[in-house]
């Protein structure tokens, strides 16, 4: 008498199934690890940009012209220490300087030309052009069909203040009675 094969799996089939599951789990874990590393990097890059923007803002608020050249410093931000490098360069416009701030976490040791998480540029200056009192004529513009007013640059009509009556012949703005 021959016995028929039972409904179970052989040892080889079970091992192949386990190998397929293990490979799939390894791929999922690799994708999750890569995602977590990318999120961490993007968080650090965003914080580095904020540090650079804060440094530029501090320079502008000081009211003092920053010295041309390169300077370095460290600052604490978001419970972490950051290293920044500031380069101030004169531009072709007199009185205007370009400021480049590069930032990286303090624990990352690298050269002056690499390892930076971000570089933010800004300007500092007392004038972009020489003020000469020239007021350009932007053309005649009216709002809501109101006639142009002589005293307002460009001839635009100022919107009526609440509680005032518009001039005769003026259209009512949308939503008014």
| 59 has a pLDDT exceeding 80 | yes
Rounded to an integer, the average pLDDT of 119-139 is 70
Q: What is the pLDDT of residue 4?
A: 57
| 36 has a pLDDT exceeding 90 | yes
Rounded to an integer, the average pLDDT of 48-72 is 91
C-alpha–C-alpha distance, residues 120 and 84, integer Å = 11
Q: Please enumerate in sequence order all residues whose Cβ is within 8 A of that of 52, keeping only pairs 6 or more positions apart, or say none.
A: 84, 101, 102, 103, 118, 119, 120
| 127 has a pLDDT exceeding 80 | no
124 — phi, psi (to 5°)? -135, 135
Q: What is the pLDDT of residue 75?
A: 95
Write down all domains in the chain, each with its CATH number in brackets: 42-125 (3.30.1300.30)
- Higher-pLDDT residue of 5, 176: 5
C-alpha–C-alpha distance, residues 14 and 1, integer Å = 28
- Higher-pLDDT residue of 147, 139: 139
- Higher-pLDDT residue of 130, 139: 139
60 — phi, psi (to 5°)? -65, -40
pLDDT tens, position by position, 11-30: 999 999 999 999 999 999 99
Q: What are residue 122's DSSP bridge partners?
A: 99
- Higher-pLDDT residue of 118, 63: 118
């Amino acid at each position: 008498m021959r016995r028929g094969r039972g409904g179970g799996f052989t040892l080889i089939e079970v091992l192949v199934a386990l190998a397929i599951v293990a490979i799939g789990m390894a791929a999922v874990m690799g994708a999750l690890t890569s995602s977590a590393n990318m999120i961490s990097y993007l968080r650090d890059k965003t914080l580095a940009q904020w540090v650079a923007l804060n440094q530029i803002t501090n320079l502008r608020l000081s009211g003092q012209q920053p010295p041309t050249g390169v300077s370095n410093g460290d600052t604490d931000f978001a419970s972490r220490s950051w290293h920044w490098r500031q380069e101030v360069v004169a531009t072709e416009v007199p009185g205007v300087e370009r400021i480049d701030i590069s930032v990286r976490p303090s624990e990352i040791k690298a050269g002056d030309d690499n390892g930076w998480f971000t570089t933010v540029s800004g300007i500092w200056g007392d004038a972009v052009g020489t003020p000469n009192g020239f007021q350009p004529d932007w053309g005649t513009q009216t709002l809501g069909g109101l006639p142009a007013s002589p005293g307002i640059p460009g001839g635009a009509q100022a919107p009526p203040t609440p509680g005032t009556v518009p001039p005769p012949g003026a259209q009512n703005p949308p939503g008014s009675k």
